[in-house]
Amino acid sequence: METTQQQAIIVGIQLQNDTNFAYSMEELRNLAAACNITVIGELSQKSSRINPSHYLGTGKIQELAAMVQDEDTVIIFNDELTPSQIRNLESSLDRQVIDRTILILNIFADRAKTKEAQLQVEVARLQYMLPRLTGMRESLGRQGGGSGLKNRGAGETKLELDRRRIEERITALQTELQAQVERRQIQRKQRHKNEVPVVCLVGYTNAGKSSLLNAMVETYHPGSNKQVFAKNMLFATLETSVRSIRLPDHKTFLLTDTVGFVSQLPHHLVKAFRSTLEEVTEADLLIHVVDASDPQHEQHMAVTTETLKALGADGIPTVYAYNKADLTGRAYPAVEGDSVTLSAKQSRGIAELTGLIRSQVFNDYIQCEILIPYDRGSIVSYFNEHAHVQEISYGEQGTKLALECRAADYERFRGDFVELSN
């Protein structure tokens, strides 16, 4: 049996000096589509301020009411509505009213696969619901007065119980989340101890971060089945995926895929996903992935930069990867300064991107020629495994290696070999 797709009318207010209005309404359409909702109409109003009681002015409310024929049509507002605005709008329009925040929260709830992401989304949804319970309970009768609960109306009693239940649930979820956060911090410390550089993919939702991670994995670890889910839709990935990339010359780095950013990302979500997003602040290098085929890509870059700043990650060295070049007229693969134009889908430009990563995170390597005595054979094995050995020969004194290795490893074994050149 075919399920009928829900229909909606989107509504927004263009405030003075707002030059991004058309773009944010287009994005609201895309968010609705990601929620499986078809937008059948749009209403906008230019105004110097948002109406505190009904969001829109009286005339526009009447215009909106005339547009909504079908009682199943949902009305989606482009801003986060206050509890009283939701209540007043639903009463004036007699239709379900939702805002941009709950739309994004629903997408996240739908896409969350790991335990941690599910906990984070539930916390964010409950925190959003808590102040809005009054509107949701308006239909229940209330009578006032009295001390304690016994003299209160059914609505008021139910409301207090619901509020308490939600607060208790939030506390329980946050305790559980804290345990997950601590586990990740232990893993992070372990990575630092191993001195493996961390490279983090960041960018607007649907810029192709997961596709790029998959292209890197397939290039350097073909047939490893370590790919992550990638699809052409908003917020396809909510999980932070980490993959170890080992280059042919034995240099290794960790590549991390993060949740995509979007303009006006609800603060409930930023708060809930903070621990996941903090992966970004621990990175040695950020790869800012940009969908070069999107006409709005410069705005997307500005949103990403702003979000990184809010997280305190704006001081980290950054490489720009202009992805989806196959859908543009740009020449690719091409490198210019700290940016590369590539196509993750076609795996073209991966070597060029790797070159930029190398120059940023492997700058503590030195070129040397050393002689290792035969009774120190374990050091030869170590360098074979962890360094780029360019030449090897055997003499009377021991094993001669010409290699490129980390300065830290060179210092660590300095007393066990003879320097021939450095």
237 is in an annotated binding site: yes
Q: How confident is the model at residue 281 (pLDDT cuts 50, 70, 90)?
A: confident
- In the CATH scheme, what architecture does the domain 365-419 have? 2-Layer Sandwich (3.30)
CA 387 to chain centre: 33
Is residue 354 marked as binding? Answer: no
For tokens 């207010």, name the residue: 13
Query: Is 258 labelled as part of a ligand binding site?
Result: yes
Two structure tokens written together for 319: 């490489």
Q: Does 323 carry a binding-site annotation?
A: yes
Q: At the fourth CATH level, which superfamily is domain 196-362? A: P-loop containing nucleotide triphosphate hydrolases (3.40.50.300)
| Pairing status of strand 365-373 against strand 418-421 | antiparallel
Check if the beta carbon of residue 308 is closer than 8 Å to that of residue 314.
Answer: yes
Question: Can you read off the two tokens belonging to residue 46?
Answer: 């230019």
236 labeled part of a ligand binding site: no
Q: Does 260 appear as a known binding residue? A: yes
Residue 2, C-beta contacts closer than 8 angstroms, at least 6 positions apart = none
Classify domain 7-110 at the CATH topology level.
Rossmann fold (3.40.50)
Please indicate if the annotation marks 146 as binding a ligand: no
pLDDT at residue 73 greater than cutoff 80: yes
pLDDT tens by residue, 366-390? 899 999 999 999 999 999 988 889 9
- CA separation for the pair 38, 101 (Å, rounded): 18
Q: Which is more confident, 306 or 238?
A: 306
19 assigned binding-site residue: no
Which pLDDT tens digit goes with each residue over 194-205? 678 889 999 988
Q: What is the pTM of this model?
A: 0.74
User: Residue 236 pLDDT more than 60?
Assistant: no
Distance CA(342)–CA(310), nearest Å, equals 28
Residue 367: count of CB within 10 angstroms of its CB: 12
Model confidence pLDDT, tens digit, residues 138-194: 433 333 333 333 444 455 566 777 888 989 999 999 899 888 878 877 876 776 656
User: C-alpha dihedral over 372, 375, 377, 379, to 10 degrees?
Assistant: -60
Q: Strand, helix or coil at 181?
A: helix
Cβ–Cβ < 8 Å for 197, 285: yes
pLDDT of residue 150: 40
58 carries a ligand binding annotation: no
Task: Tell me how far apart the alpha carbons of residues 384 and 404 are, in angstroms, rounded to a whole number.
Answer: 11
Domains 7-110 and 196-362 share a fold: yes
Per the annotation, does 207 bind a ligand?
yes
pLDDT in tens, 325-364: 999 988 999 999 999 999 999 999 999 999 999 999 988 8
On the CB side of 150, CA atoms within 13 Å amount to 1
Would you say how long the chain is, in residues?
Answer: 422
Is 400 assigned a ligand-binding role in the annotation? no
Collapsing DSSP states into helix, strand and coil, what is residue 79?
Answer: coil
Mean pLDDT value across the chain:
84
Q: Are residues 78 and 31 in contact, defined by beta-carbon separation less than 8 angstroms?
A: no
The answer to whether residue 267 scores a pLDDT higher than 80 is no
pLDDT tens digits, one per residue of 89-132: 999 998 889 999 888 888 888 877 778 778 888 888 888 888 88
- Ligand-binding site membership of 147 (annotated): no
Domains of the chain by residue range? 7-110, 112-136+158-195, 196-362, 365-419
Nearest in space to 415 (alpha carbons), one of 376, 367, 359? 376
Which residues fall within 8 angstroms of residue 52, CB to CB, at 6 or more apart? Answer: 82, 84, 85
Strand order in the sheet with 37-47: 37-47, 6-15, 74-77, 97-99
Poorest-confidence range of 76-90, 224-238, 240-254, 392-406?
224-238
Can you tell me the distance from the alpha carbon of 177 to that of 71, in angstroms, rounded to the nearest whole number? 40
Q: What pLDDT is stored for residue 134 in this prediction?
A: 61
Banded pLDDT at 238 (limits 50, 70, 90): low
Compute the distance between CA of residue 69 and CA of residue 72 in angstroms, rounded to an integer: 9
> Is 209 annotated as contributing to ligand binding?
yes
